[in-house]
Amino acid sequence: MTAHPQSLHQKRGFDAKRMSSVRLLVMRLLKIFCLLPLLFYFNTALFADEAQARAAMSNPQNHLVAVFTSKGAFYIELFNDRAPRTVRQFVALVTGTMDFPSSDLKIRYYDQSSFHTVIPGRALYAGSPSASRFGLQPSPIRAEIDGISLGLDTRPLLDSTGEVDRSFALSTRQEFEEQILAPLYAAAGIESAQALKNNAERMMQRLQQLSVLEALENLGYRFSSTLNTQPISQGTVALLPTKPGEVGAEFVISLVPSPWLDGRATPIGSVVDGLSVVKEIGNRGVSPDDEPSLATAIYSMRIL
């Protein structure tokens, strides 16, 4: 018996709907199978940073620090052997085990802070007590810098034309007198104008013989030996001095070779993965006087 035409149309419509549903299901399955490799890739990439960072470390026994910021994450290898005491202090600040002289608080010092100062294309600064949540400051410790490894002992303070080594960044006569001459006279025990007049020739000879290391020592910087301190270059992380020869909690990440920091700041590590994130942070200038929202936030730092 022949089916009623209306029934045929209904059947065809039903078949068409069923075929459409099948096609839709097939298309969805194809999309899922096509997306699986991508999902696998991105999932792998999400967890590959630490692996890449560890692969890039110069010594797998060193500490690895993850820094999570509002611009992304990057990883720092700490130089345990080159600045052991300074690295221990930094680790204590990161992990919240630091004892502060003015408080019983135990805080992860750098968490919920920011890069409060950025000199575009040059350096990032974080960790200043004036920019911290509670204004806490650890007791300063002696800097660990090997001036001989840096070659500061063989670098003359004055070149053949009488120009002062550029790392001092002196631009005025007053700065020259304050940073070079006055410390030189003090180191020689000259305390009066008459004593200077009597020793003028000797002081001139001494000035001409002065190395960068000796000039820094006259300013109060102190140097160790056998630490194999390396020049501060792109990606170097260093603790800044609170005064000559001592460091606290504030650190700098250099974006370029920075001879003006050599012998002054204590290198404690280097960015081994995520340097592109560091460079992005360093693209925009920030000062402590700017609105806090302009600074890149440091959500947390963790020892891995």
Q: Encoding tokens for residue 268?
A: 């404690």
The pLDDT tens digits of the residues spanning 110-147 come to 999 999 999 999 999 999 988 777 778 888 999 999 99
pLDDT score, position 27: 55
- pLDDT recorded at residue 32: 44
Checking if the pLDDT of 24 tops 70, the result is no
Q: What is the pLDDT of residues 181-215, one digit of tens each?
A: 999 999 989 888 888 888 888 989 999 999 999 99
pLDDT digits (tens, 9 = 90+) for 238-296: 999 999 999 999 999 999 999 999 999 999 999 999 999 999 999 999 888 888 788 99
- 3-state SS assignment for residue 213: helix
- CA distances from residue 88 to 97, 144, 158 in whole angstroms, order as listed: 10, 12, 37
Residue 166 DSSP symbol: G
Q: With beta carbons less than 8 A apart as the criterion, state whether 298 and 278 touch.
A: no
CA distance 50 to 151: 34
Shortest CA distance to 251 belongs to which of 269, 231, 233?
269
pLDDT above 50 (res 43) = no
Maximum distance among all alpha carbons in the chain?
134
Q: What is the pLDDT of residue 42?
A: 39
Helix (H, G, I), strand (E, B) or coil at 35: helix
Share of the chain above pLDDT 90, in %: 61
Structure tokens belonging to residue 97: 């085990």
Note the helical H segments in 75-132: 84-95
| pLDDT above 60: residue 75 | yes
